[in-house]
Each structure stands twice: as structure tokens, then as C-alpha cells.
Amino acid sequence: MRLPPGDTDKMARLLERIPAEYREDAAQEAWLAHLEGRGPVKAMDAFRKRQERYDARFTPFTALGTK
């Protein structure tokens, strides 16, 4: 997985904090931000925070249980 040009050290450290199943999506967000002229590091961090909020409120069907 290639990261866009810029502060690659910062992006690599941030990528380590993102769960493995979301890393490809985070890299795509960084590339999109780079192509749009926005900061890729900021876009990756926003993606990480957004995904953490989603995961915190999402309850998998298997965890619902029966009562």
C-alpha cells in the first residue's frame, strides 16, 4: 500500500493506530485528500476518528442475544 507524498513518517505512525481492516480505506482517504489539495495526514486522522465513533455505536447482530 502506497501512501501519498507528504509527511510519510506521520502517516505511517498514524496508520499503525488504525485497525488492520481499515488501513486500506485510510490510505484511500489520504490519496483522495492529496488529489483534492487537502492535507492527507488530517484526512487519515479524521477517518480514524470517524471509524472509531461508528464502531463505538455499532452493535453486531451476533452480540444482540435473545431475551
Residue 4 lies in a domain: yes
Rounded Cα distance between 30 and 51, Å, is 14
Residue 17 lies in a domain: no
Q: What is the pLDDT of residue 66?
A: 61
Rounded Cα distance between 65 and 25, Å, is 30
Please check whether residue 8 is in contact with residue 16, taking contact to mean a CB–CB distance below 8 angstroms: no
Q: Grid coordinates in use for 35?
A: 488529489
Residue 43 lies in a domain: yes
Rounded Cα distance between 43 and 26, Å, is 8
Residue 64 lies in a domain: no
Q: Model-level pTM?
A: 0.81
Rounded Cα distance between 53 and 66, Å, is 26
Number of domains in the chain: 1
The pLDDT tens digits of the residues spanning 28-62 come to: 999 999 999 999 999 999 999 999 999 888 877 87
Residue 51 lies in a domain: yes
Residue 41 lies in a domain: yes
Q: Which domain holds residue 31?
A: 1-12+23-58
